[in-house]
A = this chain, B = another copy of it.
């Protein structure tokens, strides 16, 4: 059984094709993340699920019902908006109970629900305030409360955290995660923050230009991106893309890397059958910052490279340094205690077992 099924949905504004045939199916209780750069159509898709935008083509099912042409109020959904969209003239309590009131829930029951929800979100002391009197995080919580009170079959979130500052964002992120674990309702969540996507989702759909690029579990998407766009989009700092040349020497695949004036040939121990045909050609090597670290215990499949350090950024738990490999800037994540100096050479270790390759023309992953 699916909780939500989106079948070949398209959307055009005038002549512009904003969504080009989206297919998604998720199971009850799953947490689906829609992620992608600005303007890729995430909000549009979410609004169509909510019934706030008309569907140009295709169908949307919630549970077994075809809701494609239903009014928002008949879809049994709740939504949390980026700007929270709290009703400014109502108190927190009224904000939360408004949806119940409209659905003619009895007063006494409304009371019970509001109490329950506000307890869950720890906003009991705020119930009689107006939204203006709340801080960002509190508003965010009230917006969630409003959605929760309704107990719908699907929650829709449109970048609910993007208006919060970094610290609060981290906190609220955990709360949402926990809430989902506790309440267990199906959630569709839009964001363009990859960390949120990674930490919250059961399933992530990475979108670009109105198309889904890849759909899968966070780890799957992080470790096995299907193309360069997905690889670059997920993860912060981003995956490093190093153009390089593949050679087959004595039946062994090798990749050429240049650093600090020295040329190195690295052996590729992974078995990537598709790579064979690229022998002698250019490819793009993808490696994540945390896969280039300071010298340490020797791993099975790692390669050493002396690099000139161009920028050093300590972030606290780690330090990011920027080096130049094959002429492109490469970010590496090293331990804060590791010794490094600006403009000095530093030996770095590349975890070749995690390295991925892309075709430079199609930008598709080479398997």
Q: List residues of chain A with CB under 8 Å of any chain B CB.
A: 38, 162, 165-167, 170, 173-174, 177-178, 181, 192-195, 198-200, 218-219, 222, 234-238, 288-290, 297, 311, 313-318, 320, 322, 333, 336, 342
Query: Besides the contacts A167-B193, A198-B315, what 16 more A-B pairs have beta carbons closer than 8 Å?
Result: A166-B193, A166-B194, A167-B194, A170-B237, A181-B342, A195-B315, A198-B314, A198-B316, A218-B316, A219-B314, A235-B316, A236-B316, A288-B316, A290-B317, A290-B318, A297-B297
Chain B residue nearest in CB terms to A288: B317
Chain A contact residues, majority secondary structure: mixed
A260 to B195, CA, bound (A): 29
A333 and B317 contact, CB distance less than 8 A: yes
Contact of A193 among B165, B238, B317, B342 (CB under 8 A): B165
A197 to B307, CA, bound (A): 26
Contact of A195 among B166, B288, B311 (CB under 8 A): B166
- CB-defined contacts of A181 to chain B, threshold 8 Å: 311, 342
Number of copies: 2
A236 and B297 contact, CB distance less than 8 A: no
Contact of A316 among B162, B177, B195, B336 (CB under 8 A): B195
A218 to B336, CA, bound (A): 11
Q: Can you spell out 6 A-B residue pairs with CB atoms less than 8 angstroms apart?
A: A162-B165, A165-B192, A173-B313, A177-B313, A198-B314, A219-B336
A192 and B167 contact, CB distance less than 8 A: yes
- CB-defined contacts of A165 to chain B, threshold 8 Å: 38, 162, 192-193
A289 to B167, CA, bound (A): 15
Among the interface residues A198, A238, A315, A316, which one has the most CB atoms of the partner chain B within 10 A?
A316
B162 and A311 contact, CB distance less than 8 A: no
- CB-defined contacts of A162 to chain B, threshold 8 Å: 165
Chain B residue nearest in CB terms to A136: B38
